[in-house]
Chains A and B, each alone.
Chain A
Amino acid sequence: MKFEIEDITVYFPYDNIYPEQYSYMVELKRALDAKGHCLLEMPTGTGKTIALLSLITSYVLSKPHSPLKLLYCTRTVHEMEKTLAELRLLHDYQLLHLGPAAKILALGLSSRKNLCVNSRVLAAENRDSVDAGCRKLTASWVRALAAENPSVPACEFFEQYERAGSSAVLPPGVYTLQDLRVFGKEKGWCPYYLARHMVQFANVVVYSYQYLLDPKVAGIISKEMQKESVVVFDEAHNIDNVCIEALSVSVRRQTIEGARRNLTRMRQEVDKFKATDAGRLRAEYNRLVEGLALRGDLPSTDAWLANPALPDDILKEAVPGNIRRAEHFIHVLRRLVQYLEGRLETENVEKESPVGFLVSILNHAGIDQKTLKFCYDRLHSLMMTLEITDTDEFLHIQTICDFATLVGTYARGFSIIIEPFDERMPHIPDPVLQLCCHDASLAIKPVFERFQSVVITSGTLSPIDLYPRLLNFNPVVSRSFTMSLTRDCICPMVLTRGSDQLPVSTKFDMRSDLGVVRNYGRLLLEMASVVPDGIVCFFVSYSYMDGIVNTWNETGILKEIMQHKLVFIETQDVVETTLALDNYRKACDCGRGAIFFSVARGKVAEGIDFDRHYGRLVIMFGVPFQYTLSKILLARLEYLRDTFQIKEGDFLTFDALRQAAQCVGRVIRSKADYGMMIFADKRYSRHDKRSKLPGWILSHLHDAHLNLSTDMALHIAREFLRKMAQPYDKTGGTGRKTLLSQEDLEKMVVEGGLNDMLY
Chain B
Amino acid sequence: MSSSQVVKRAKYKTTVKDPGTPGVLKLTQEKLLFRPNDRTSNNKLDVEFRLIKGHKHTKEGSNKPPWLNLTHAQGSYIFELESFSDLHVCRELVGIALSKHAEATKVISEEQLSAVEMAQRIKLLQEDSKLQKLHKELVASGKLTESEFWATKKKLLDHDESSKSKQRIGFKNSLIFDTKPTSDGRINQVKFQLTPEIKYQIFALKPAVHQAFLNFVPSKMSEVDFWNKYFKAEYLHSTKNAVAAAAEAAEDEDLAVFLKDDEILEMEARKKVRRVDPTLDMEADQGDDYTHLPDHGIFRDGSKEISEAQHPLYRRTLLQDLNRQGAVVLEGKTLDMEMDHPKTVAEILARRKHESDGVIEEERRNRISKMAQIEDLQAQDNHPYAPLCIKDPREYFDSQQVNAVKTLDESQAGMEQVRCNLGSEEAYDSLRTSISKIKATGLRDPLISPEVALKVLNGLTKNISNTKYHLGKSSQEGVLDMLPNTTKDKLLDHWVCSQELLRHFWSSYPVTTPNLINKTKRLKDAISQLYSKLEEIKVSAQSDLRHQVSLVVHPMQQALDAALLHYDADIKKRNARGSKPNGYV
A→B interface (CB under 8 Å): 14-18, 47, 50, 76-78, 81-82, 85-86, 88-89, 110-114, 126-128, 130, 176-178, 182, 208, 210, 214, 216-217, 242, 244-246, 248-252, 255, 305, 395-396, 398-399, 402, 419, 422, 424-425, 428, 432, 434, 436, 541-543, 546, 549-550, 553, 559, 562-569, 571-572, 574-587, 590, 592, 594, 597, 601, 603-604, 607-609, 626-630, 632-633, 669-672, 726-727, 729-730, 739
Beta-carbon contact of B288 and A114 below 8 Å: yes
Segment of B148-156, B317-325, B345-353, B540-548 in the binding face: B317-325
Beta-carbon contact of B375 and A670 below 8 Å: yes
Query: Among A553, A587, A628, A632, which residue has its beta carbon within 8 angstroms of that of B318?
Result: A553
Given contacts A111-B288, A178-B278, contact A579 B272 (CB under 8 A): yes
Which residue of chain B has the shortest Cβ distance to A79 in the bound complex?
Answer: B279
Within 8 Å of chain A (Cβ to Cβ): is B335? Answer: no
Beta-carbon contact of A82 and B371 below 8 Å: yes
A78 to B281, CA, bound (A): 6
Beta-carbon contact of A208 and B282 below 8 Å: no
Beta-carbon contact of B374 and A250 below 8 Å: no
A517 to B351, CA, bound (A): 42
Shortest CB distance B333–A (Å): 14
Beta-carbon contact of B302 and A630 below 8 Å: yes
Beta-carbon contact of A574 and B286 below 8 Å: yes
A431 to B375, CA, bound (A): 53
Beta-carbon contact of B377 and A245 below 8 Å: no
Beta-carbon contact of A399 and B322 below 8 Å: no
Beta-carbon contact of A78 and B320 below 8 Å: no
Which residues of A have CB within 8 Å of B308? 425, 428
- Indicate with 1 or 0, residue by residue over B45-63, a CB within 8 angstroms of chain A CB atoms: 0000000000000000000
B→A interface (CB under 8 Å): 173-174, 177, 269-270, 272-273, 276-303, 305-308, 317-320, 322-323, 326-327, 329-330, 361, 364-365, 368-369, 371-380, 387-389, 391, 421
Which residues of B have CB within 8 Å of A626? 301-303
Beta-carbon contact of A575 and B269 below 8 Å: yes
Given contacts A128-B293, A246-B291, A562-B174, contact A569 B281 (CB under 8 A): no
Beta-carbon contact of B320 and A399 below 8 Å: no
Which residues of B have CB within 8 Å of A604? 282
Shortest CB distance A317–B (Å): 26
A176 to B292, CA, bound (A): 24
Given contacts A559-B177, A566-B326, contact A127 B287 (CB under 8 A): yes
Beta-carbon contact of A50 and B374 below 8 Å: yes
Which residues of A have CB within 8 Å of B294? 128, 255, 395-396, 399
A623 to B386, CA, bound (A): 44
A239 to B316, CA, bound (A): 35
Query: Among B292, B326, B368, B373, which residue has its beta carbon within 8 angstroms of that of A587?
Result: B326
A530 to B320, CA, bound (A): 27
Query: Among A15, A17, A542, A630, which residue has its beta carbon within 8 angstroms of that of B301?
Result: A630
A541 to B305, CA, bound (A): 8
Which residues of A have CB within 8 Å of B291? 210, 214, 242, 245-246
Query: Among A85, A126, A395, A574, which residue has its beta carbon within 8 angstroms of that of B371?
Result: A85
A78-B281, A214-B291 known; 17 new pairs, CB 8 Å cut-off, are: A16-B377, A88-B372, A113-B287, A114-B288, A210-B288, A249-B295, A398-B293, A436-B301, A559-B177, A566-B330, A568-B322, A579-B272, A581-B276, A587-B330, A597-B319, A632-B301, A672-B375
Shortest CB distance B198–A (Å): 16
A245 to B330, CA, bound (A): 39
Beta-carbon contact of A578 and B282 below 8 Å: yes
Shortest CB distance A599–B (Å): 9
Beta-carbon contact of A82 and B327 below 8 Å: no
Shortest CB distance A336–B (Å): 15
Which residue of chain A has the shortest Cβ distance to B174 in the bound complex?
Answer: A562
Beta-carbon contact of A182 and B286 below 8 Å: no
Shortest CB distance B298–A (Å): 5
Beta-carbon contact of B280 and A434 below 8 Å: no
Beta-carbon contact of A575 and B270 below 8 Å: yes
Which residues of A have CB within 8 Å of B323? 568-569, 571, 576, 579-580, 583
Shortest CB distance B54–A (Å): 45
Which residue of chain B has the shortest Cβ distance to A733 in the bound complex?
Answer: B421
A608 to B372, CA, bound (A): 13
Shortest CB distance B383–A (Å): 11
Shortest CB distance A15–B (Å): 4
A579 to B307, CA, bound (A): 22
- A sample of 10 inter-chain contacts (CB < 8 A) reads A178-B278, A245-B291, A395-B293, A396-B294, A432-B300, A434-B298, A574-B282, A579-B323, A590-B330, A608-B282
Which residue of chain B has the shortest Cβ distance to A14 in the bound complex?
Answer: B377
Which residues of A have CB within 8 Å of B305? 541-543, 572
A108 to B457, CA, bound (A): 74
Beta-carbon contact of B329 and A110 below 8 Å: no
Shortest CB distance A575–B (Å): 5
Given contacts A249-B296, A627-B301, A632-B298, contact A583 B326 (CB under 8 A): yes
Which residue of chain A has the shortest Cβ distance to B310 in the bound complex?
Answer: A428
A601 to B320, CA, bound (A): 20
Shortest CB distance A676–B (Å): 19
Shortest CB distance A184–B (Å): 13
A629 to B300, CA, bound (A): 11
Beta-carbon contact of A670 and B377 below 8 Å: yes
Shortest CB distance A561–B (Å): 9
Beta-carbon contact of A399 and B296 below 8 Å: yes
Beta-carbon contact of B330 and A592 below 8 Å: yes
Query: Among A16, A110, A419, A541, which residue has its beta carbon within 8 angstroms of that of B378?
Result: A16
Beta-carbon contact of A76 and B285 below 8 Å: yes
Which residue of chain B has the shortest Cβ distance to A628 in the bound complex?
Answer: B302
Given contacts A252-B299, A566-B173, A729-B421, contact A578 B276 (CB under 8 A): yes
Query: Among A113, A399, A579, which residue has its beta carbon within 8 angstroms of that of B269?
Result: A579
Shortest CB distance B290–A (Å): 5
A601 to B305, CA, bound (A): 12
Given contacts A428-B308, A542-B305, contact A15 B300 (CB under 8 A): no
Which residues of A have CB within 8 Å of B174? 559, 562-563
Shortest CB distance A689–B (Å): 20
Given contacts A77-B284, A210-B291, contact A579 B276 (CB under 8 A): yes
Which residues of A have CB within 8 Å of B272? 579, 582
Shortest CB distance B332–A (Å): 10
Which residues of B have CB within 8 Å of A177? 284
Query: Among B280, B317, B377, which residue has its beta carbon within 8 angstroms of that of A18?
Result: B377
Beta-carbon contact of B283 and A574 below 8 Å: yes
Shortest CB distance A30–B (Å): 23
Query: Among A15, A305, A579, A632, which residue has its beta carbon within 8 angstroms of that of B377?
Result: A15
Beta-carbon contact of A434 and B378 below 8 Å: no
Given contacts A78-B280, A422-B306, A546-B319, contact A562 B173 (CB under 8 A): yes
Query: Among A88, A214, A252, A541, which residue has its beta carbon within 8 angstroms of that of B290?
Result: A214
Shortest CB distance B510–A (Å): 36
Beta-carbon contact of A575 and B273 below 8 Å: yes
A594 to B329, CA, bound (A): 12
Beta-carbon contact of B387 and A727 below 8 Å: yes
Beta-carbon contact of B376 and A578 below 8 Å: no
Which residues of A have CB within 8 Å of B269? 575-576, 579
Which residues of B have CB within 8 Å of A739? 376-377
Beta-carbon contact of A730 and B302 below 8 Å: no
